[in-house]
Amino acid sequence: MSGFKLTRESILDGSLRTASQAMLGTQMPLMSEEVRAQQIDAALAAAPNPAAIWVFGYGSLMWNPAFLFAERRTARVYGYHRQFCLWARAGRGSPERPGLMLGIEPGGSCNGVIYRIAPELVRSELDVLWRREMNSAVYRPEWVASRTREGTVHALTFAVNRSHERYIGDLDLISTARYLAQGAGPLGLCCEYLFETVAHLRALGVRDRHLEILEAHVRAHDRLAAAAVQPASERSCA
């Protein structure tokens, strides 16, 4: 089912939007260009420091930002925690094999990466970011204080929109692992999204105990499922 690549080019040429619309049909209207521009304007108007626009990534933005940036730092945000709390029925999921995607929810703290966008590229690169993250308005743009070794800076991030129909809240561990193990869509396997997140956090010197426990359960789930019903050629996440 995989083969489509999430790149700057596939975002800008409309391929990502087309693929999402083809899979979701008309059940989920995608954001218009006019609304996207209005939201970017509103986010910039609310920026605590308009001279330095940073973006905080806590999932796939850590290893595949797809927008141009001038500086990158490891950061920690307090007041939010990372959670698999969104249905994925496109991307790394499908209506037939839904997966789960990360959002950040109120409470706790979250490690990730912040990116500074060059001043002359702010609007064009935020447009890329919005096309990538906000097609279906599943997130809410938020400015958060991000602590780094060089000091605290405010960064734009995308917190989960709890009023969106894709929001599912806090699933139990076993159900979460099952959806992560089984989810698959045009961008690939949902389990790979989890594995990449854990691997990149480790590369930053960060341990996320909850995600590491999930990783162990997903790998165990896939090994058992593969041994029971799948030919060896189809095993993928173990």
* CATH code: domain of residue 61: 3.10.490.10
In a domain, 36, yes or no: yes
Beta strand 53-57 pairing with 151-160: parallel
In order along its 238 residues, the chain shows pLDDT tens digits of 445 788 999 999 988 877 777 666 556 678 889 999 999 999 999 999 999 999 999 999 999 999 999 999 999 999 999 999 999 998 899 989 999 999 999 999 999 999 999 999 999 999 999 999 998 889 999 999 999 999 999 999 999 999 999 999 889 999 999 999 999 998 899 999 999 999 999 999 998 999 999 999 999 986 665 544 555 445 456 5
Which pTM does this prediction carry?
0.89
Q: Are 155 and 55 in contact (CB under 8 A)?
A: yes
The residue among 130, 112, 106 whose CA lies nearest residue 62 is 112
Question: Any catalytic annotation for residue 133?
Answer: yes
DSSP one-letter string for 55-90:
EEESSGGGT---S--SEEEEEEEEEEEEEEEEEESS
Looking at the structure of the chain, the number of domains it has is 1
C-alpha–C-alpha distance, residues 22 and 144, integer Å: 34
Range of the domain at 19: 8-230
Selected catalytic residue, list 33, 34, 71, 133? 133
Does the residue 2 lie in any domain?
A: no
Q: Is residue 154 domain-resident?
A: yes
For 168, residues 6+ apart whose C-beta sits below 8 A from its C-beta are 85, 86, 87, 100
Whether residue 235 lies inside any domain: the answer is: no
